[in-house]
């Protein structure tokens, strides 16, 4: 006869601890699957918008997409419980600067691009956080590479006086997607 397995969530609901049980309703596997889906959606939409803008009006036009459309697409893919953003060891926008934890993951990813996640019950930290590496592709070099067109350079300098995000080569770690999950407290 099959042995009955009682999950932590089921056990907690039996004990009727609703608030605590809620933080356990999703297993790390489900959270990782959801985080990957968010990265796919955000990354896919952003790349599509960027390519369309460059095709229409060149790289200087594409800057507008990264500058204004990227945060909008990130917001579209975020909710009360989930957030998605991008970070890097060399940021263009200081708002994207990594936290200490993110910086450690980026330093490790710089050697081997990977995805990482952590489940935490410590207060002041998201219950779940996930990062996946963003490699530099050919498409990125016009705005993040070594030989940037003077017009593009001028527009970037105007918008981002402290831009650190140039000088990359194809295959370099450009940064990472960051996804966090924090169940709503009732
Ligand atoms: C048309 C110019 C342009 C192209 C092409 C471009 N980017 Fe960017 N990128 C930007 C701008 C502008 C920002 C700053 C966005 C902001 O203000 O949040 C940025 C920001 C980023 C960030 C967030 C971290 C930071 O530096 O602030 C990452 C990661 C990033 N880009 C990766 C890429 C990747 C990967 C590619 C290629 C697939 C790419 N970019 C192509 C202009 C570009």
State pLDDT tens for residues 2-34. Answer: 444 444 444 444 444 334 444 556 788 999 999
171: left (phi over 0), alpha (psi -120 to 50) or beta: left
What's the pLDDT score for residue 134?
A: 97
What's the pLDDT score for residue 81?
A: 94
Distance CA 48, CA 54 (A): 10
Tally of CA atoms within 13 A in the half-sphere of 43 that contains its CB: 17
Ligand 1 mean position to 29 CA, how many Å? 30
Q: Which of 114-128, 143-157, 159-173 has the lowest mean pLDDT?
A: 114-128
What's the pLDDT score for residue 18?
A: 39
Encoding tokens for residue 21? Answer: 């049980």
What's the pLDDT score for residue 3?
A: 43
Distance CA 72, CA 37 (A): 17
What's the pLDDT score for residue 183?
A: 87
Residue among 89, 139, 144, 145 whose CB has most ligand 1 atoms within 8 A, to mutate: 144
Please choose, from the candidates 38, 23, 41, 37, the residue with its C-alpha nearest in 3D space to the C-alpha of residue 128.
23
Residues 6+ apart with CB under 8 A from 130: 31, 32, 35, 115, 116, 117, 178, 179, 180, 181
Given a contact cutoff of 8 angstroms between Cβ atoms, the answer to whether 11 and 24 are in contact is no
Question: In the structure, what pLDDT confidence band is assigned to residue 113 with cuts at 50, 70 and 90?
Answer: confident
CA dist list (Å): 109 to 13, 98, 116: 39, 13, 9
Ligand 1 mean position to 38 CA, how many Å? 18
Distance CA 115, CA 130 (A): 7
Nearest CA to ligand 1 atom 13: 66
**Stronger pLDDT, 5 or 135, i.e. the higher one:** 135
Atom of ligand 1 nearest to the CA of 61: 1
What's the pLDDT score for residue 39?
A: 96
State pLDDT tens for residues 27-75. Answer: 889 999 999 999 999 999 999 999 999 999 999 999 988 999 999 999 9
Nearest CA to ligand 1 atom 43: 143
């Amino acid at each position: 006869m099959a042995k009955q397995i009682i999950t932590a969530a089921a056990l907690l609901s039996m004990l009727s601890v609703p608030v605590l049980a809620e933080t356990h309703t999703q297993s790390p596997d489900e959270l990782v699957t959801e985080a990957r889906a968010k990265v796919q959606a955000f990354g896919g939409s952003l790349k599509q918008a960027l390519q369309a803008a460059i095709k229409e009006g060149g790289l200087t036009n594409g800057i507008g997409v990264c500058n204004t459309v990227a945060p909008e697409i990130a917001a579209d893919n975020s909710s009360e419980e989930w957030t998605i953003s991008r970070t890097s060891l060399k940021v263009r926008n200081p708002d994207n600067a990594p936290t200490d934890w993110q910086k450690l993951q980026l330093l490790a990813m710089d050697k081997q691009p990977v995805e990482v996640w952590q489940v935490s019950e410590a207060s002041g930290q998201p219950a779940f956080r996930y990062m996946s590496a963003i490699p530099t592709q050919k498409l990125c070099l016009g705005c993040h590479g070594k030989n940037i067109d003077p017009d593009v350079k001028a527009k970037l300098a105007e918008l981002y006086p402290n831009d650190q995000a140039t000088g990359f080569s194809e295959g370099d770690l450009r940064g990472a997607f960051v996804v966090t999950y924090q169940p709503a407290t009732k």
